[in-house]
Amino acid sequence: MRNYHSKVIYLILFLSLTFGTNAQTSRQKNEILKELNSNDPGKGNVTVYEDESIKQILGRPMGPPRTIYSDAEGSVQYYKMRGFKIQAFSGNDQRTSRDEANRKQSLITNQYPDHETVVLFETPFWRLRVGNFRSRAEAEAALQQLRQSFPSFGKEMYIVVDEVKIPVN
């Protein structure tokens, strides 16, 4: 019986930590505890005793708050996280790669102004990256659109893991 109670306590702790730290979580936790502590005929009785140290841990933020950044004009706020971008170009010919990256950037920006484009130079490569996607599925959908719009350089485009800017809602 003691083993069963330990499992219930661990389940409650896991669910509480999984669902976050807001007031809704406290209500969810209380609802779970009420359900477990309720006396239903024919179902048996479960009593959950919660240690004070667990009460202090639950409801606290799990990690440090994210830093919020602003664009140059201060009109758009975003935070940075690990996400996905589309690498639309990569070249190491020092005479032509920079111009090629900038040319492709202007083509993509003209057709898809909502996707951020960035030209990067990491010796010896010039790279063009497109978009800020939280999930690989979002990046896949955008990649298909780009390949349809630009079939001449569509085969060299692929998805990369990168730091992305996600707007604050």
Kindly report, residue by residue over 118-133, the tens digit of the pLDDT.
999 999 999 999 999 9
Q: What is the pLDDT of residues 18-75, one digit of tens each?
A: 554 444 555 565 676 677 777 777 777 777 777 777 766 666 666 677 788 888 888 8
Domain ranges of the chain: 2-57, 69-167
Q: 69-167 domain in CATH 3.40.50.1820?
A: no
C-alpha closest to that of 142 among 122, 160, 126, 125: 160
Question: Which of 91, 123, 122 has its CA nearest to residue 105?
Answer: 91
Whole-model pTM: value is 0.62
Joined tokens for residue 11: 């389940």
